[in-house]
Structure 1
Amino acid sequence: MTLTVADIAQALGTTAHGDTSLILRRPAEPGDAGADDLALAMSPAYANALADSKALAAIVWDGADWQALGLKAAITVPRARLAMAALTQAFDPAPAPTGIHPTAIVPDSCSVGADPSIGPFVVLAEGVTLGDRCRIEAHVSIGPGSTLGNDCWLNAGARVGRNCHFGNRVILQPNAVVGADGFSYVTRDLSNEERAYQSMGREPLTPPEDGTRHRIHSLGGVIFGDDVELGANSCVDAGTIRPTRVGRGTKIDNNVMVGHNCIIGEDCILCGQAAMAGSGVLGDRVVMGGRAGTKDHITVGNDVVMAAATGLYVSVKDGQFIMGQPAMDMPSYRAREKGLRRLPQMLKDIAALQKRVPKDDASD
């Protein structure tokens, strides 16, 4: 698609300079930008590349001398990443509704809102409800009794189980799974893991009389608030009795696991390979870095940031920045790491001091 400089500035809610009627076909990095591209040079670090490019229009940093850079038009932005959000949305509009593909299975008991796009080999179970303008791509399946709000977008291969309920503008990336049964089993007597936890490893584990795992079914479904996004190949399991919940505006990256009965607050970020064990609770605006993990049945307060690969085994209060395995606050973690780095030299110093102690004194 093409947009004018004026169109783009309006989408970004900012100011355009120069010839705002220039027509542009795509955003591009300065080194790759042609005469009909919009160069992205939102910090002074791109000044030289922009001056050497063929671009006639660019998004530039506040205070840039865009005319000296050889441009005919420029758009200034105060916050680069925020500008990228609006810019990419402007150049990637939703396609026109396509209706219901003839290979899709849509039972009469389903309710489909206005202007749907339901792609090839989609399967809706009995009683599914779709809001207006939902976009359901190829090979998606939605289980019995599930509901989607308006403007939801389920990418190819996504799976939604039974009794899952989405707000408006929910996005599932390819092969995401919502509402699978939780990983929940019980043995007749105490299991090895229960006995190990009770004894804290002080007693050896012997074979149980009956180690058969009896499956606990998940009846609670999943509830997503508005504007939740779930990444490719990520899973959010159904609750056992009550639903697993993900709050409004939360974004979940690829390859993330959210266990059964978890409750996630609003505007959280869960980065790639993060994992929540069952019945955990995250407050609002929590950040889980890549490969961070939480133990079951713990609560993380509001505005907590967990660095990558953090292993959290206890509940934490609001506003902490934690890291490490096991997790601790950042100042404590840094102090520990500094101490560990000094250990080799400290051991050498101790060995040198021991050599200086007379043998007679050393034997006292």
Structure 2
Amino acid sequence: MFTLAEIAESLGHPVVGDASVVLRRVAEPQAAGPDDLALAMSPAYGPALSAGAARAAILWDGADWQSFGLAGAILVPRARLAMAGITAALDAGPRVKIGVHPSAIIEDGAEIGPDCAIGPHVVIGANARVGARARIGASVTIAEDAVIGDDALIYPGVHIGARVRIGDRFVAQPGAVIGGDGFSFVTPEESGVERVRKTLGDQGELRAQSWQRIHSLGAVTIGDDVEIGANTTIDRGTVADTTIGRGTKIDNLVHIGHNNRIGADCLICGQVGMAGGSTVGDRVVLGGQCGVTDNITIGNDVVAGGATKIFTRVRDGEVILGSPAVKMETNMAMYRALRRLPRALEQLSDLRKIVMGGVQGKRDDD
């Protein structure tokens, strides 16, 4: 249970009306009852709020809260920012008992900070360090010499490799794998792939080839306030570390290949795939299913729309879309032209018939 005043404090906006209203949960406006906090942060939700039975609500800035028969309300200018504050205030996270579960294995030299909660079947390798107040769910593995900062929240089934270094307030969703080997192989002789890159399509003489692994001697370094989604994988570097900058958020089912360097406050959406060795600047947004080839540079403040395939360098601040990626306005112009193509071909066919008919008529006259 919570009061409207407590929510107001978390949002940094005052209560209008009765701040002492006691509530049990948040709800959509039409389904909200007397003990629910209705979320109606746009005028579009006004009719639904009137149809419900809420006594308290979060409303859009400037709303006439009394017209809805509410006892109290909080008015917010930015709905999604308010959602961030509300959900943070009410989400207690997973329940993991403080202390080390009897089934956990803590190897020699590992250090566990104060007030940590280590769940069942966790394995923490030799000389690893876990900061204060970490919450580590069931079946997590943290390999030797890894370092994790304070206030980590690591959900069940996460695997963190050897020598990985992670900052404070780290969040990893179930199944994430951080610090697996990079996908890096070489052939004793020049491979078909190498020849294709040189010739842009001609493999030359086809012959047998075999692959030899290039081992990963580096690790992964992750800054403060980074979040990693479920079943996302981040490979360790070949020599230098793969790096993820402070404040970057990575969605589910993302693959970050070896030796990538991702800057601060980036947003990497679901199913993005990055080959190895590329550099991504700060505040970059990669929409879902974007692909990034190896050994390129993406500048600061770039926004790539969903399913964009990035094969070459992108300058600071560009907004791109398509495969291969071009500026978004160019992509939209190309798409409009493509949609007009069938009609243009029909018109061309009609014109051809007219022209050919005229030519044939002239021949007949001759």
> TM (normalized to structure 2)?
0.96
Distance 2:205 2:147 in 1: 47
State the identity as a percent.
49
Shift of 1:78: 1.0
Q: Retained in 2: the 8 A contact 1:42–1:59?
A: yes
Residues 1:304 and 2:311 aligned together: no
Using the TM superposition, give the Cα deviation of residue 318 of structure 1 relative to its aligned residue in structure 2, in angstroms. 0.2
Q: How many Å apart are 1:204 and its aligned residue?
A: 4.3
Counterparts of 1:66 and 1:108, CA distance in 2: 61
Distance 1:71 1:362, change over 3 A: farther
Point out 4+ residue stretches in structure 1 off by more than 6 angstroms. none
Aligned amino acid, residue 144 of structure 1: E
Q: Structure 1 252/362 Cα, relative in aligned 2: closer, same or farther at 3 Å?
A: farther
2: CA distance, partners of 1:362 / 1:320: 56
Correspondence for 1:77: 76
Counterpart in the other structure of 1:196: 196
What residue in structure 1 maps to residue 8 of structure 2?
Answer: 9
Pick the aligned partner of 2:288 from 287, 290, 296: 290
1:228 maps to: 226
- Deviation per CA, 1:279-305: give whole Å up to 9, x if none: 011100000000001110000000000
Contact 2:310 2:323 in 1 (8 A): yes
Q: Secondary structure at the match of 1:76?
A: strand
Consecutive unaligned residues of structure 1, counting only runs of 5 or more, are none
Measure the CA separation in 1 of the matches of 2:181 and 2:107: 24
Shift of 1:197: 1.1
> Which residue of structure 2 lines up, in the alignment, with residue 181 of structure 1?
181
Q: 1:69 to 1:205 in 2, by over 3 A?
A: farther
**Which residue identity lines up with residue 328 of structure 1 in the other structure?**
V
Matched position secondary structure for 1:232: coil
Question: Within 1, Cα distance between the matches of 2:97 and 2:115?
Answer: 6
Q: In 2, are the aligned partners of 1:97 and 1:133 still within 8 Å (CA)? A: no
Map of 2:216 onto structure 1: 218
Gaps in structure 2 of 5+ consecutive residues: none
Deviation of 1:199 (Å): 1.3
In 2, distance between residues paired with 1:205 and 1:197? 15
> In structure 2, how many angstroms separate the alpha carbons of the residues matched to 1:362 and 1:39?
79
CA distance in 1, matches of 2:66, 2:245: 46
Instruction: Find the residue that maps to 1:223 and give its secondary structure.
Output: strand
Letter in 1 for 2:148: L
Residues 121 and 212 of structure 1, relative CA distance in 2, 3 Å threshold: same
- 1:124 and 1:312 map into 2 onto residues whose CA distance is 38
Once the two structures are TM-superposed, the CA of residue 108 in structure 1 deviates from its matched residue by: 3.2
Q: Give the structure 1 partner of residue 88 of structure 2.
A: 89
Please list the CA deviations of residues 101-120 of structure 1 after superposition, one character each: whole Å capped at 9, or x if unmatched.
00000123101111010000
**Residue matched to 1:149:** 149
In the superposition, relative to structure 1, how do residues 354 and 216 fare at CA in structure 2: closer, same or farther (>3 Å)?
A: same
Counterpart position of 2:113: 113
| Aligned length, in residue pairs | 360
Displacement of 1:205 in angstroms is: 5.2
Shift of 1:138: 0.2
Partner in structure 1 of residue 277 of structure 2: 279
1:98 and 2:98 matched: yes
- 1:159 & 1:314 partners in 2: Cα distance? 32
Q: Identify the residue that residue 45 of structure 1 maps to in structure 2.
A: 44
Q: Are the aligned partners of 1:196 and 1:205 in contact in 2 as well (CA < 8 Å)?
A: no
Cα pair distance change 1:226/1:362, threshold 3 Å: farther
Per the alignment, residue 172 of structure 2 pairs with 172
Change in CA separation of 1:305 and 1:362 when aligned onto 2, cut-off 3 Å: farther
Q: Is the counterpart of residue 355 in structure 1 residue 365 in structure 2? A: no
Matched, 1:341 2:332: no
Secondary structure of 2:33's partner? coil
Q: Is the 8 A contact 1:303 1:318 kept in 2?
A: yes
